[in-house]
Structure 1
């Protein structure tokens, strides 16, 4: 069964209302300093409590793998037609990160707008979070496992192969073309 976390959120403050700025004097020079707005703080406080409850209720298990990415599929129900979906992810993503229960950091997040509708009586975001299908540079778990099986028969594998490590981290290198390692050296060939 696929792990997923599903919940409904009020529309968060947009990026335009998430941070505000004030001028401070530092070393005798004016400098802009950002701070969270009251609207953002209030939203995050409430959504953090909701997420904590949903994580427990739905038995979500956070991965300790900082290279595990997550889809955050969102259906928007805006109160007005002039709202831009891309402006509403940051405040929510930061709040989810602050719970320390869903992912390690929002750099692991792949936001996807799954639909935009208009409901001025009940504006909201319906959210589903789930691990991505790919693993590193590999399009799925099977491809990853096949690659690792072949790696285990390579001379470089026993020395903590940096090519495999980078591939699992999702780093593109010249050493892999069409998911084939260009530096592969069979252990069997070396033994003969």
Structure 2
């Protein structure tokens, strides 16, 4: 498990601005159609990254684990005022922590646990921990039970696509109630 106390991210509403370019023909700035990070967004992202690097370096956190597994990010948010939306702060927060706490924010399951108000010290406190499930399996025990059965199947030695997809989280009609409909017992060699 890892814990971080970070600056409160900028709301998604203030995070991006329209990019402009100079059009010499009309002597005027014109929008390019792109949205870019605002100056405030860049500033706060830098603060979050700096604080996260410093704090995560002092903890026993397995960054490599995040490359192939999902993790929970539980949040305790201290807003500076009422009326703020917790969902609007996760974009900057999650992007800033990428490559520092986890490999890719697509594997982060964000959960707001509580919202409080602190006018003098707005912040976000985060706790990271591995999820209990593995792919379509509710927990390690159900995965290992399924895997144990797979190891006696003829498809297992051929790198079973059903098992691989189940580990990746794909729902498949071949798997029902923890059993595989394509199971074929490996033939025993006669001596």
- Answer yes or no: is 1:58 the counterpart of 2:59: yes
The aligned length equals 184
Q: What TM-score, normalized by structure 2, do the two folds share?
A: 0.88
Residues 155 and 185 in structure 1, CA contact (< 8 A), matched pair in contact too? yes
Check whether the contact 2:154–2:185 (CA below 8 A) recurs between aligned residues: yes
Residue 21 of structure 1, aligned match among 8, 11, 18:
18
Distance 1:84 1:38 in 2: 21
Q: Where does 1:1-192 land on structure 2 (aligned, <5 Å)?
A: 4-23=1-20, 31-63=32-64, 66-97=67-98, 100-188=99-187
Structure 1, unmatched stretches of 5+, are none
* Residues 63 and 187 of structure 1: CA distance in aligned 2, closer, same or farther (over 3 Å): same
Worse-matched range after superposition: 158-167 or 9-18: 9-18
Q: State which drifts further: 86-95 or 176-185.
A: 176-185
Q: Distance in 2 between matches of 1:138 and 1:187?
A: 23
So what's the TM-score if we normalise by structure 1? 0.88
CA distance, structure 2, for counterparts of residue 143 and residue 105 of structure 1: 26
**Once the two structures are superposed, what CA deviation does each residue of 1:140-161 show, in whole Å capped at 9, x if it has no partner?**
1111111111100001000000
- Structure 2 unpaired stretches of 5+: 23-29
**Runs of 4+ residues over 4 Å off in structure 1:** none
Deviation at 1:48, TM superposition (A): 1.1
Q: Per-residue deviation at 1:23?
A: 4.6
Structure-2 change in CA distance of 1:30 and 1:121 (3 Å): closer
Write the deviation string for residues 97-136 of structure 1: whole angstroms up to 9, x where unpaired: 1xx2322211001000101112212211111011111111
Q: Aligned-residue CA RMSD in angstroms?
A: 2.1
Give distance in 2, aligned partners of 1:65 and 1:127. 16
Q: Of the two, which has the highest radius of gyration?
A: 2
